[in-house]
Chain A
């Protein structure tokens, strides 16, 4: 999967969880959960969906590496690449 494909998939999953947030208005380097206004269940649903889609474990110990849109994208690229 290319970086662009991973980004498209990530955007699609975020849009399912936070359809009211426009990605163009989001600071990709700022706290993901703040930017998308997602709570712990939303975040768990996001991780569940991404883990399934990319065939990853995405352990809770790695959550600090998923704290912004950019970091989460980089994490998915590194783990699935």
Chain B
């Protein structure tokens, strides 16, 4: 059972996609695991033959438990247990003296749940806009409101208040990771105003003659700019564990994706620096679609080396992110809006947004952070070069 994030302690094996005796190859998806964040596909990391499953369908096991025996080619005896993910950093807290009483949260799906006709867990309640507005105003998580028999949540349901069964799994996972981040990581924060007209012009020109499936959104450009700046400032990409920083050569950028009233996850786009804008764009669309459907790969959750969060075009000027441990930095991009901007001594109207960086003081200082953030801005001014 791989660790799919610092906050994960256990997972339930819900699908065995291959049977014993089958040949497997590195990258094959062999199982699906249900976690707090949804259904995660488990890839195999070596070539060989699956000897047998060590965990039964529906069984919930702690992180680190071998799921299956895979015999590598030419390996007659002592098959290796499957260990698809790099060893997670050890849990930060000393073992608790006694188990805390678990709030009676939503149950894990029953073992035989994944029906062919409904392979994805329902991630969000259907709620009327009035209900959503009230929930947002009162700070109530819609996931905590009991839906009606038809599966919808109405204004009156939100008024009635959340059910008493505690937080849903997704919120609990976010709470655990963010509490750990704020407890352990000495954040520092930087912000920088950035003129977005070069990006807007570039996107408009690039999309003018393109069919919808080939169009760009600015997020793809932000991703490339962050990856580009990381080449010069590699100390912002990596993980911090056991008192040491482990830089990553490749920029695996976690993209914060809003799950419509159910929370937020930031699965990774891999090696962003090595991909062109259009490849990145289609990978990003695929990742967002799968994430919203509640299905992503294990590596996408565990292997990000930095996070990018972009508010899109209906947000606010800027945001100060919380670092996702064991990463050491998060870049935030606000919503551009027309604002006065000084250029060549004259005031002009420009689409302006606020770029932010929250980074880990155990690894870097504000001086380098400022250079990194400026480097991102500089790259954003010349999107053609990305």
Contact = CB atoms under 8 A, between A and B. Distances in A.
The residue among A37, A40, A57 with the most chain B CB atoms within 10 A of its own CB is: A40
Contact of B128 (A22, A40, A58, A60): A22
Given A20-B261, A47-B212, A58-B212, A40 B312 contact: yes
Contacts of B204: 60
Interface residues of B, number: 29
B285 interface: yes
Majority-rule SS of A interface residues: helix
A60 B200 CA distance: 12
Nearest to B315: A39
A23 B288 CA distance: 24
Contacts of B174: none
A20, A25, A35: most-surrounded residue (chain B CB, <10 A): A20
Interface of A: 18-22, 24-26, 33-35, 37, 39-41, 44-45, 47-48, 51, 57-61
28 contacts: A20-B260, A21-B126, A21-B128, A22-B126, A22-B128, A22-B129, A25-B129, A25-B130, A26-B129, A33-B314, A37-B132, A37-B260, A39-B313, A40-B217, A40-B218, A40-B312, A40-B313, A41-B217, A41-B285, A41-B288, A44-B285, A47-B212, A48-B212, A51-B211, A57-B211, A58-B212, A60-B204, A61-B208
Given A20-B126, A59-B208, A60-B215, 6 more contacts: A21-B127, A35-B129, A37-B132, A40-B217, A41-B285, A45-B285
